[in-house]
Amino acid sequence: ATITSRIGVLMLGDIGIPDDTKQKAEILDFSLGGIIHEESTSNFLLRVKNISLHHFNAKPRLVLQPLFGQEKSVLLEEKYVFPGKVRRWNRLLQLETNTIGFYKVSIRVSTGHGQQEIGNTFFIAFPLTRVGLVLITLLLAIGMYRKRKRITSALHVLIKG
């Protein structure tokens, strides 16, 4: 009798019409692996929890919005999220950041019937090694220009003896 009632509860637990006005999901974690991005690849993590009584098919879409320019969108794979369970998207993501600047990143998880859960974060695209090399080269050029008389006399002594 206890086995029959447990199976009956599982079968009848999902019967009914889902309420489309209630919130179905909750974004637990959304990150891109840091605030400053030097490279165009990033470790992407998204965790979504189903807080309703019915399962749904989660369809996340990542939207990159630069401060100036056109926004870009990346569609991620769909996954079923069962009641009370958490689904995870974790992968290396190729960010198309062509310019240095601030970016707003939005994740929009579609839960069906036009409902979406939205999460936002920000990051800065700044290639530290490239900018560092340019600054060092620029400082060396300025130093050589300021000490050009000493450098020419030292070269003259080296060459002529």
Question: Is 24:53 a contact under the CB 8 Å cutoff?
Answer: no
pTM: 0.68
Q: How far is CA 129 from CA 36, 71, 124, 136, in A?
A: 13, 26, 15, 10
What are phi and psi for residue 127, nearest 5 degrees? -75, 95
pLDDT digits (tens, 9 = 90+) for 12-55: 555 566 666 788 899 999 988 777 677 777 888 999 999 988 88
